[in-house]
Amino acid sequence: MPHSTDNNSAAQQQPDKKPEVVVHPVPSRLLDSQQCPTPHITSMDEYRRMWKESVEEPEKFFGNLARDILSWDKPFETVKHGSFDNGDVAWFLEGELNACYNAVDRHALKNPDKIAIIHEGDEPSNVRRITYGELYRDVCRMANVLKKLGVRRGDNVAIYMPMIPETLIATLACARIGAIHSIVFAGFSAESLLDRVADCGAHIVITSDEGRRGGRNIATKCIVDTALSRQEAHQVEHVIVYKRTGSEVPMMENRDLWWHEEMANARPICSYEKMSAEDPLFLLYTSGSTGAPKGIVHTTGGYLLGAAATVKYIFDVREDDIYACMADIGWVTGHSYILYGPLTLGATTVLFESTPTYPTPARFWELIDKHKVTQFYTAPTAIRALQRLGDKWVEQNDLSTLRVIGSVGEPINPEAWNWYNEKVGKGRCAVVDTYWQTETGSIIISPLPGCTPTKPGSATLPFFGIKPVLLDPSTGKVIEGPHQSGVLAISQAWPSMARSVYNNHSRFIETYLRPYPGYYFTGDGAMRDEDGYIWIQGRVDDVINVSGHRLSTAEIESALNTHESVAEAAVIGGHDDLTGQCIHAFVSVKPHIKATEGFDKELTLVVRKTIGPFAAPKRVYIVNAHPKTRSGKIMRRILRKIVNGEHDQLGDISTLADQTVVPSIIEAVHGIKQ
Ligand code: WT7
């Protein structure tokens, strides 16, 4: 089998290498009804009983949960359908519902003045509060605008916007009329945006004149214009532009429309489409080990249930909570944990436009203090960066409203976990290390705040409906015993799992269901300890995780290859104390070309421009040749070991076509002549 578990990014935190694992019980404050609302689940017995039912009788468990958490226009009859073998998983068939109705209407009807969104703008003084009633009316207006422009049920709409309420309004408007939204992270380059717009075939793109982040302007409209100037995006008929900064931007006649002008003429009432549970709700592009990014397809019923159920149980959210997820809406975390999860439960969601350090490293903590945040969710990279900047920034603020603090995106090292727990949670909050993926739709492995004892660095135990297994990568057999690494797979379908890759169902099956027949393959390596706790060890495929951003080595390599002087490029992920992993690129140049001074910077720029700034290699090494097998395959394992300082443990290199390239690569990386 193609996967090896020796290239993980988190090897340094394996408990078998660090035997002093500390177990943290649930903070007593959380279970004291004088101090906190009683968590939804307060004992491990209750969790185990519910988990057992969820995997043994999923029809009963999820049937009840779906009726309880969601509002249906037409009840479902078949709770669970299909199999991994056939690649035809479906949930809540015959059922009809609308995601926007669930996230907005039902709360607006009951409680129109309740705050749905708190927008913490880039400047701390710039705060907007939007009630469910206002959100309802604006979403209806936008839905009418889209309809007027010819958008129909099942059409794709691309959204390339910064972190402003209008982004959520546009997204919900799509859901309302049954259009499939494809949000593209506003940090992506014109080229990456073009790929996504072309693949999904959107006729409408929604953007802003500019974005604003960390005191700087981001040229969103200009990037859209560059992307749409290309033939591949010729199908786009209209671009709707929200005025965020007011800077002068060119508007193309007949194509570009101002958001405010369209909204001013639109009626604030618009009936919603009754969608079938399996109708796609959105596409979200993500990188894999090979080929172009995949448009992951999520459907209405199962996805919405997963998002809402995890917010309820893992963040223990109540209707009067102020829930703050710091992710970007362009990633799945933003979809599930800024938008759909909290709003479906009728909570208040915080939408954060800025960065953790703008204007000072106290920004997160001031935000929690100012808005009385009860749940806070961020990534290990941000935690590590803030930890480095010193405790004084945290200590100046009142964080006593917090009950649950979460981490997501990459393995969290115990040092960062402890700091988060002690300095931010003050030892009085549940720390939830939540493991999941774009494809899983919602969190699949995580502690529950009222019952799970935690171990720093472990995402702990499976959520309801999730049956994880570890598989031996060479035999595909299930690993039963504790303290052995394997590839992490899931052995039965759960409601919020992706259903397909857009326009390419066979790629979906090949990538996730074929590698280990009968299982969903996550792409991650993991270890299970004696308590059944899962320790995620990082990707086993050619995916690199930089600051929680998922990047494919193949994509970065092909960006480098677009440079005319490049003969061949190989990219690997190295360890980085701050960003988890970082990108190292090994590039050889064409014959008769000399790599001049600054060539590495030039190549870095190519990647920034082709993919986006977040994909820039940390180091570019110019090498004469790559270590290759006799059949011409680059042995990335060797590059990885050299970068991670393990060049004295390269293992068997006899399969290399030319072993003499190894010392020259060691020299390029470490400057040591062998
Ligand atoms: C990959 C998925 C879905 C959240 C944002 C990233 C890694 C995610 C954890 C965690 C260890 C984690 C995995 C996974 N990952 N959360 N708590 N512990 N690793 O979504 O871009 O689809 O990336 O992120 O490697 O496969 P994504």
pLDDT in tens, 614-667: 999 999 999 999 999 888 888 888 999 999 988 888 888 888 888 899 999 999
User: Are residues 18 and 548 in contact, defined by beta-carbon separation less than 8 angstroms?
Assistant: no
pLDDT band at 5 (very low <50, low <70, confident <90, very high): low
Beta bridge partners of 323: 349, 375
pLDDT band at 19 (very low <50, low <70, confident <90, very high): low
The per-residue pLDDT for 10 is 40
Using the atom order of ligand 1, give the atom closest to the CA of residue 459: 17
Ligand 1 pocket by C-beta < 6 Å: which residues?
286, 331-333, 408-411, 433-438, 459, 522-524, 536, 538-539, 545, 548, 550
Instruction: Give the containing element (helix H, strand E) for 174.
Output: helix 165-177
> Residue 310: pLDDT above 50?
yes
Give the three-class secondary structure for 500.
strand
Give me ligand 1 centre to Cα 382, in Å. 15
Average pLDDT over residues 510-529: 97
Give me ligand 1 centre to Cα 536, in Å. 9
Using the atom order of ligand 1, give the atom closest to the CA of residue 445: 17
Give the three-class secondary structure for 15.
coil
Give me ligand 1 centre to Cα 268, in Å. 39
Work out the mean pLDDT of the chain and round it to a whole number: 95
Q: Which two tokens stand for residue 128?
A: 């907007």
Average pLDDT over residues 566-594: 93
657 or 418, greater pLDDT: 418
Q: Give the integer Cα–Cα distance in Å for 102 and 195.
A: 32
The per-residue pLDDT for 1 is 62
Average pLDDT over residues 487-492: 98
The tally of CA atoms less than 13 A away on the side-chain side of residue 213 is: 17
Give me ligand 1 centre to Cα 435, in Å. 6
What is the per-residue pLDDT across 136-186, written as a single tens digit (0 to 9) for each?
999 999 999 999 999 999 999 999 999 999 999 999 999 999 999 999 999
The per-residue pLDDT for 484 is 92
Average pLDDT over residues 129-137: 98
Nearest protein CA to atom 23 of ligand 1, as residue: 437
The tally of CA atoms less than 13 A away on the side-chain side of residue 147 is: 19
Q: Give the integer Cα–Cα distance in Å for 242 and 258.
A: 6
Give me ligand 1 centre to Cα 251, in Å. 38
What is the per-residue pLDDT across 113-129, written as a single tens digit (0 to 9) for each?
999 999 999 999 999 99
> Residue 15: pLDDT above 60?
no
User: Are residues 411 and 13 in contact, defined by beta-carbon separation less than 8 angstroms?
Assistant: yes
Select from 446, 490, 546, 550 the residue to mutate for testing ligand 1; criterion: most ligand atoms less than 8 Å from CB. Answer: 550
User: Are residues 487 and 516 in contact, defined by beta-carbon separation less than 8 angstroms?
Assistant: yes
Using the atom order of ligand 1, give the atom closest to the CA of residue 539: 25
Model confidence, pTM: 0.94
Give me ligand 1 centre to Cα 613, in Å. 20
Q: Considering only 31-35, 287-291, 404-408, which range has the smallest mean pLDDT?
A: 287-291
Average pLDDT over residues 57-80: 98
Select from 185, 410, 487 the residue to mutate for testing ligand 1; criterion: most ligand atoms less than 8 Å from CB. Answer: 410
Q: Give the DSSP per-residue string, 404-455.
A: EEEEESSPPPHHHHHHIIIIISTT-SEEEEEB--GGGSS--B---TTT--B-
Q: Give the integer Cα–Cα distance in Å for 109 and 463.
A: 32
Nearest protein CA to atom 17 of ligand 1, as residue: 435
The per-residue pLDDT for 396 is 92
Q: Which two tokens stand for residue 220?
A: 């969103």
Using the atom order of ligand 1, give the atom closest to the CA of residue 549: 21
What is the per-residue pLDDT across 257-285, written as a single tens digit (0 to 9) for each?
999 999 999 999 999 999 999 999 999 99
Q: Give the integer Cα–Cα distance in Å for 16 and 526.
A: 12
The answer for 69, left when phi > 0, alpha when psi is -120 to 50, beta otherwise, is alpha
Residue with tokens 């649930």: 26
